Amino acid sequence: MTTDLQAIIEEIHATLSPRTGEGKAADYIPELANVDPKKFGIAVIDLEGRVSKVGDCDEPFSIQSISKVFTLTLALGKHGETTWNRVGREPSGSAFNSIVQLEHENGKPRNPFINAGAIAISDLVMSGHTPREAIGEIVRFVQYLADDAGIAIDPAVARSETATGFRNFALANFMKSFGKLTHPVDHVLGVYFHQCALAMSCVQLARAGLFLAANGKNPLSGHTVVSSQRARRINALMLTCGHYDGSGDFAYHVGLPGKSGVGGGILAVAPGRASVAVWSPGLNANGNSLIGSIALEMLAAKTGWSIFGAPHA
């Protein structure tokens, strides 16, 4: 089996490039509909820091729900295991913005990666902070993870989502009615919308996720971000909950912990091997990048990186 990652991702990119534009880019956040649907980038960073990249891999895009991995990490750092008093750890089997389950479960979201759960996590990250301070802390944390001070929020995307985030307002108000949010709803959503509006390239995203592939320590910067146990647990949540009601399908086809965003990005973690980021805006029916998911399936098949078994013969 070849381990020439650059050759592998170039081949995947060449194979799938004619299909970019398939799927449907998110347009419920109007600003996201302005992105060229044919964008396609892949970046892989191994534990020695070797970067393999192809296509639109240096162009920042809206990471949207991928930010939920970073805010969960922050919340766990601040609140430890008590974080789980506020959100569960079970796959939802529902759409990313579903409100149905919340009523049955008394306002406690199933997991930190569906919208309701991530809003509860934003509330936790805020503790002791104004919304502006909390947003600043999230940006600095992601800059620290990626070791890149150039990472910033796209204010147009944050404004666009604030103007049209009716569903998220409904979810947050619903949780507030159950006493499950500490801060005012508009403050919590201000933080949530801004974290989702972080703009990062595939290369920056792969760097930011590298600690999860390396037992909690970023091998490039030398920073210990979390314990190895916590890294394993975050990976477990990404595997079981990272793709909404498509999480089982992603585990079946790709076999790696991953987190998608409606901007068309996916961060995937190959524990002990590499961190991978892909970007292609067209989404499948579950709101996950269509071509990005196929690219990761091809990468996992070609490298034998699935966590579920030995490499193909």
Residues with catalytic roles: 65, 68, 192, 244, 262
Cβ distance to ligand GLU smaller for residue 17 or 101:
101
- β-sheet bridge partners, residue 199: 62, 152
CB of 29 to ligand GLU, least distance (A): 6
Give the C-alpha separation, 275 to 45, whole Å: 5
Which tokens sit at 220? 């490039």
CB of 213 to ligand GLU, least distance (A): 22
Cβ distance to ligand GLU smaller for residue 158 or 254:
158
Cβ distance to ligand GLU smaller for residue 168 or 218:
168
- β-sheet bridge partners, residue 162: none
Contact residues: ligand GLU, CB under 6 A: 64-65, 96-97, 115, 161, 168, 196, 261-262, 287
CB of 257 to ligand GLU, least distance (A): 16
Residue given tokens 């919308």 in the structure block: 193
Phi then psi dihedrals of residue 299, to 5 deg: -65, -45
Which tokens sit at 18? 């004619």
- Tell me, what DSSP letter sits at residue 205? H
- Name the residue among 223, 180, 198 with its Cα closest to residue 68: 198
Give the C-alpha separation, 173 to 150, whole Å: 34
Cβ distance to ligand GLU smaller for residue 262 or 276:
262
CB of 168 to ligand GLU, least distance (A): 5
Cβ distance to ligand GLU smaller for residue 282 or 287:
287
Angle at 64 (CA atoms; ends 264, 190), nearest 5 degrees: 155
**Cβ proximity of 66 and 265 under 8 Å:** yes
CB of 81 to ligand GLU, least distance (A): 26
**Cβ proximity of 100 and 245 under 8 Å:** no
Sequence-distant (6+) residues with CB within 8 A of 196 are: 62, 63, 64, 65, 67, 157, 158, 161, 261
CB of 176 to ligand GLU, least distance (A): 17
**Cβ proximity of 258 and 243 under 8 Å:** yes
Cβ distance to ligand GLU smaller for residue 162 or 204:
162
Q: Which helix (H) or strand (E) holds 153?
A: strand 152-153
